[in-house]
Amino acid sequence: MRAKRRYILARILPYGVAVDQRQAYFSVIEAATSLLGDAAVGLAQPAVVFCEGGYIVVRCRRGTEKDIATALATITTIADERAALRTVATSGTIHALRRRMRPIRPLSEAGEAQVGETYFTVYRYPRQKVDLVEKGIKHQKSLFFTEADLEER
């Protein structure tokens, strides 16, 4: 008999980070296995079914969704980049979760700012949030400001 499933919707932090579904799956499995153990994760059968637009949907067996959501809260990196998952909702269908997804896109074109000696690309988001990403190719430092903080500098 086919087991009942639950789907967990989580938002990916920081905003604008492109996460590969496969890498996200590895992070979910690592976090769940280290927190709950192989046996519990084997029974929960977690899988990443969707990873796009700043959101991730994790599938698991019904009854294990609380444990998996707890494990998602312990994720600190995805593909060696700092990241976090914030659980938004749990549902029995992906369709219901899609209604909860609100795309998070930068408000305007990226600007530039200097903090200390370092140059950052500025991304503005709703609610006066400003993310500064160090200019570079890999493992860039990020700073999280607000519009007011940026104006004060």
Partner 1 sequence: MKITDASVYPYPAGDSTLARMALEAAELGFDSIVAVGEIRSQPSGIKILRGAVINAASHKEVIKRVRDPAVRRADVVFVNAGDISFNRAVVSVNEVNVVRNIHAARRNAFDHVAARTAADRGVAVDISLAPIIQFRGTKRQKALQRYADILSLQRRYGFPLTISSDARSIMEQRSVREVRSLCALFGMTGVEVSDALASVGRLTEPELPVKVVA
If one asks whether residue 20 binds partner 1 (CB under 8 A), the answer comes out as no
Strand partners, 77: 82
Q: Does 104 bind partner 1 (CB under 8 A)?
A: no
- We find the least distance from the C-beta atom of residue 32 to partner 1, in angstroms, to be 12
Binding piece for partner 1, criterion CB under 8 A, among 43-51, 62-70, 91-99, 104-112: 62-70
Where on the chain is the footprint of partner 1 (CB under 8 A)?
Answer: 13-14, 34-35, 66, 69-70, 73-74, 76, 82-84, 86-87, 127-130, 141-146, 148-149
